[in-house]
Structures are given as structure tokens and as C-alpha cells.
């Protein structure tokens, strides 16, 4: 039995090793190798960490990173929750709950990010804290012998070149291309130096029996206009037929010709049988270019969960596809400053959100508002399930159109 009260506080520099130990135990992984520790240290923001200590033992950890996320109409600061873990000896005693409550309250009190985001190790964990599912991710596995692509003008004019992944010039080139893509879809995150480093790193323990991380550059007139990062595996079945795979972690291009040229290469690598494209959207160009979509294995799963820390600041950080003027009755058990009635007005250029006494048009929980925030999930879709209540006829349709975006939101790299 534990007699000492647990202490919640920032984790000190001298206690960083305990984070790695807790990470290893809670995620049942191998000890974090030194080269991976070095990468992860580059992502650590200790002054924003939450540790729950039992005496000198770190029993729970909550890490956060300061990022920028594309939202409809611009960029918004995002508190990206990077690691939540609780020792098995201390689970189901409210340790995670206390850390999440602390995070939300401190972000509100400091007036920093109005939006928090995370990806979940298991889907059911975060809804109870008001995190709503804001984007999905699609994994396409395309069999090589049925990987035809529709022709794209200009694709043949794109030159492809393998470049050394760890080379600083190669890394810079990829980052510049990636940065030009942020904002093309809501949900995309600006990459910090630490993340750029993590994405070009290739420690042995991340290979999982596959090849080194390869970088393929697409160039036109000597200028880089796209890149892909991928690994391959080399296996043969009992008959000696090549059964290896291509595993694409990143694919970004300035234009569709470069995208098609990269994709054409990736689906037709010798001695492989299939190509898997991770972290795509169901409406990605890939889905439209494949001539035999049915031959592909398409798997859709939950991706980015968002939490609106301060609804008024969050709702005014984005713009709206069509004019909106609605009164929302909001419930928010964990962050009572959000609960109550808000009047949201906005259009393609601007938005305002103020307290009001007027009659409500819509009633919903903050979790559902987070789900529709990036425009992927629709209010009309949620209204089918009674998670959104229409109190004024037509309000769901008006608000649903205004919140929606033309393209699915996308989180192309893991936080």
C-alpha cells in the first residue's frame, strides 16, 4: 500500500532517465537505445512536463510539445501531447486523470494554446477528457502487379534521384518541401528542428528488420519539387518468388506531376510484391490515381484527437467555409470555463465567439466540437447519432457546412 501522497510536478533534468525507463515499462518495449534517447531529448520540453512522483520514483509522465497546426484559414498554436504513461504499479488510481486535468487547467490559466492534440495508443482513452476524433488516417497497401496509375501530364519530365537521408542538404531540401505543404490541409503540423531531426534519423532499432531509410527526391529543372522516405524488405516465398515490401513513411510534392512520378517509382521496385503507404487520407491523390483501387488493401483508423482548451479562442482561430451565426449550448465537465452558451459568427475571412443569453440553436459536448473543428467529421454526421442536438431547425445544416472543409484534415507525422 502507498502511504505517501503522490506529488505532481515538473520533471527535472536529473530525472530524464526515469522518463525513458517509464516509457520502456509502460509501452513494453526494449530499453531505449542511446541514439534514440538523443533524438527524443531533442523533442523534450522539460519545463512543460508533468511528472507524478511516488517518493523519488516517477510513476506517471505527461509530455507536451509546442507546435503550430494548420487550421482552416491559417495556423494555430497546438499543445501536442507527446507521451502519457503510468507505471503498471500505479494504474487506475487516477494518475493519468490528474495529469490531464493539470495540463488543461495550466494551459487555460497561462493563456497559451487554445487547442491541444494527441494520437492515442488506444482509441477509448481520451474521449472522457473532451478529446474528440478530428482526423482519420488511411493506410493503402498496393499489390505491385495491379498498381497501375492514371497518366498525369508532366510526370515523365520529373527526374528522380536517391539522396543520402542523413545528409544535411538532403534533410533541408525535404523540410523545405514539407513546409510548403503545411496549410494545404488542416491538421498538418509545422515541423520543429527536433522533428526534422527525428524524421531523417535512422537508428537500427527503428528498422524492424527492414532496409535503411531511403530518400527519393523528385526534381524539375534542377529544383527539388517532391520527396518520399521509404524502406524495403527483402523476402522470398517457398517457391523463390520475391515477396518483399516497400514501406512509405512520407510522400510530399509541390505538384501532382512530381507526386505521380514518385508514386510510380514506389509501386514498382524490383523484388517487391507490394507497397504500403502509411498515414494517408482517404481522399489522397493516391486514391484517385490508382486504376485498380479494389486491388489495394485500404485500412482506415483514428488519427488526431483534439481538445479545445478555450473554445472561444479556438473557434476564432479558424475561418468558416460559409457564413455561420449560431448559438451553441456547450457542456464541458473538465473545463467549466467552456460550458454554457456561446454565439459563434464567422465566414471565410473572420470569426467571433462571445458569451450570450440568447436561445441556443445547437447543443453538444466539447468533445464533439473538437471532432468537427478541422472539418473532417461533420456536425450533420454527428447529429445522426444524437451527439449533437438541433434546437433550431436548420442550425445543424448551416453549421455543418460552415465547419466543413473541401479536403480531409491530415496529420502526416506522428506526435
Ligand X SMILES: CC(C)(COP(=O)(O)OP(=O)(O)OC[C@H]1O[C@@H](n2cnc3c(N)ncnc32)[C@H](O)[C@@H]1OP(=O)(O)O)[C@@H](O)C(=O)NCCC(=O)NCCS
- Check if the beta carbon of residue 215 is closer than 8 Å to that of residue 199: no
Q: How many CB atoms lie within 10 A of CB 406?
A: 9
> Which CB sits closer to ligand X, 91 or 112?
91
Choices 29-37, 90-98, 271-279, 356-364; region in contact with ligand X by CB under 6 A: 90-98
We find the least distance from the C-beta atom of residue 332 to ligand X, in angstroms, to be 17
Site track 56-85 with ligand X (rule: CB under 6 A), x = hit = ----------------------------xx
Which residue, 95 or 315, has its beta carbon nearer to ligand X? Answer: 95
Residues 125-164 that bind ligand X (CB under 6 A): 125, 128
Cell of 177: 518541401
- Burial class from Cβ neighbours inside 10 Å (0-12, 13-18, 19+) for residue 29 reads exposed
CA dihedral sign of residues 264, 407, 132, 381: negative
Residue 129 contacts residue 307 (beta carbons within 8 Å): yes
Number of residues that bind ligand X (CB under 6 A): 18
For the record, the C-alpha cell of 367 comes out as 468533445
Q: What is the DSSP string of 257-309?
A: HHHHHHHHHHT--TTEEEEEEEEE-TTSHHHHHBS-GGGSEEEEEE--EEEES
Give the strand order in the sheet containing 351-355: 351-355, 340-346, 324-331, 362-365, 388-390
Confirm or reject binding of residue 27 to ligand X (CB under 6 A). yes
Cell reading at 406: 473541401
Taking the C-alpha atoms of residue 30 and residue 204, their distance in angstroms, rounded to an integer, is 13
Distances (CA, A) of 221 to 158, 160, 225: 8, 12, 10
> Helix or strand or coil: residue 152?
coil
Q: Which is nearer to ligand X, 86 or 182 (CB)?
A: 86
Considering only residues 26, 68, 200, 378, which one is a binding residue for ligand X as defined by CB under 6 A? 26
Q: Which is nearer to ligand X, 97 or 356 (CB)?
A: 97
Cβ proximity to ligand X: between 94 and 183 the closer is 94
Q: Which is nearer to ligand X, 76 or 86 (CB)?
A: 86
Candidate segments 95-103, 179-187, 262-270, 339-347, binder of ligand X by CB under 6 A = 95-103
Output the nine-digit C-alpha cell for 104: 488543461
Residue 226 Cβ, how far from ligand X at the closest point, in Å? 32
Three-state secondary-structure class, residue 46:
helix
Is 69 in contact with 115 (CB distance < 8 Å)?
yes
- Which residue's CB is nearer to ligand X, number 306 or number 324? 306
State how far the Cα of 352 lies from the Cα of 174, in Å rounded to an integer.
37
CB of 99 to ligand X, least distance (A): 8
Q: Is there binding between residue 301 and ligand X (CB under 6 A)?
A: no
Query: For residues 117 and 187, which CB has a smaller minimum distance to ligand X in the complex?
Result: 117
Using the rule CB under 6 A, is 94 a contact of ligand X?
yes
Closer to ligand X by Cβ: residue 332 or 361: 332
Nearer of residues 91 and 401 to ligand X, judged by Cβ? 91
> Which residues touch 66 (CB under 8 Å, ≥6 apart)?
45, 48, 77, 79, 80, 113, 192
Residue 413 CB, shortest distance to ligand X, in Å, is 16
Question: Taking the complex as a whole, how short is the minimal distance between the CB of residue 93 and ligand X, in angstroms?
Answer: 6
Q: Please choose, out of 8-16, 92-100, 161-169, 204-212, the segment that lies near ligand X by the rule CB under 6 A.
A: 92-100
Q: Report the residue from 4, 13, 109, 122 that binds ligand X according to the rule CB under 6 A.
A: 122
Q: How far is the CB of 273 from ligand X (least distance, A)?
A: 33
CB 119, min distance to ligand X, A: 7
* Spatial separation of the C-alpha atoms in residues 250 and 117, rounded to whole Å: 21
206 HSE (CA, 13 A, CB side): 18
Chain residues in the site for ligand X (CB under 6 A): 26-27, 84-86, 91-97, 120-122, 124-125, 128
Amino acid at each position: 500500500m502507498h502511504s505517501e501522497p503522490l506529488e505532481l510536478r515538473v520533471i527535472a533534468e536529473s530525472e530524464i532517465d526515469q522518463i525513458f525507463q517509464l516509457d520502456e515499462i509502460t509501452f513494453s518495449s526494449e530499453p531505449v537505445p542511446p541514439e534514440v534517447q538523443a533524438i527524443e531529448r531533442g523533442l523534450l520540453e522539460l519545463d512543460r512536463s508533468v511528472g507524478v512522483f511516488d517518493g523519488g520514483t516517477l510513476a506517471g509522465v505527461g509530455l507536451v510539445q509546442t507546435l503550430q497546426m494548420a487550421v482552416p484559414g491559417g495556423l494555430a498554436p497546438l499543445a501536442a501531447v507527446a507521451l502519457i504513461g503510468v507505471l503498471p504499479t500505479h494504474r487506475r488510481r487516477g494518475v493519468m486523470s490528474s495529469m490531464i486535468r493539470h495540463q488543461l487547467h495550466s494551459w487555460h490559466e497561462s493563456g497559451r494554446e487554445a487547442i491541444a492534440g494527441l494520437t492515442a495508443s488506444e482509441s477509448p482513452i481520451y474521449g472522457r477528457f473532451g478529446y474528440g476524433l478530428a482526423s482519420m488516417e488511411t493506410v493503402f497497401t498496393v499489390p505491385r502487379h495491379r498498381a497501375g496509375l492514371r497518366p498525369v501530364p508532366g510526370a515523365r519530365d520529373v527526374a528522380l534521384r536517391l539522396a543520402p537521408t542523413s545528409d544535411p542538404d538532403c534533410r533541408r531540401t525535404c523540410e523545405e518541401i514539407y513546409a510548403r505543404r503545411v496549410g494545404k490541409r488542416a491538421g498538418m503540423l509545422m515541423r520543429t528542428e527536433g522533428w526534422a531531426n527525428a524524421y531523417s534519423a535512422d537508428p537500427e532499432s527503428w528498422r524492424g528488420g527492414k532496409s535503411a531509410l531511403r530518400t527519393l527526391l523528385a526534381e524539375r529543372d534542377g529544383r527539388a519539387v517532391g520527396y518520399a522516405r521509404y524502406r524495403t524488405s527483402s523476402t522470398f516465398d517457398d517457391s523463390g518468388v520475391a515477396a518483399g515490401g516497400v514501406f512509405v513513411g512520407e510522400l510530399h510534392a509541390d505538384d501532382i506531376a512530381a507526386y505521380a512520378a514518385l508514386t510510380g517509382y514506389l509501386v514498382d521496385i524490383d523484388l517487391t510484391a507490394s507497397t504500403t503507404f502509411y498515414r494517408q487520407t482517404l481522399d489522397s491523390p493516391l486514391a484517385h490515381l490508382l486504376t485498380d483501387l479494389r486491388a489495394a488493401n485500404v485500412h482506415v483508423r483514428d488519427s488526431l484527437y483534439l481538445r479545445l482548451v478555450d473554445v472561444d479562442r479556438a473557434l476564432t482561430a479558424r475561418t468558416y467555409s460559409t457564413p455561420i451565426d449560431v448559438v451553441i449550448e456547450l457542456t464541458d465537465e473538465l473545463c467549466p470555463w467552456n460550458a454554457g452558451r456561446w454565439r459563434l459568427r464567422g465566414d471565410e475571412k473572420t470569426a467571433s465567439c462571445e458569451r450570450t443569453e440568447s436561445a441556443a440553436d445547437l447543443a453538444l459536448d466539447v468533445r464533439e466540437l473538437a471532432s468537427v473543428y478541422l472539418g473532417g467529421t461533420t456536425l450533420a454526421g454527428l447529429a445522426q447519432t444524437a451527439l449533437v442536438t438541433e434546437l433550431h431547425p436548420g442550425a445543424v445544416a448551416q453549421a455543418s457546412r460552415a465547419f466543413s472543409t473541401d479536403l480531409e484534415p491530415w496529420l502526416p507525422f506522428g506526435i
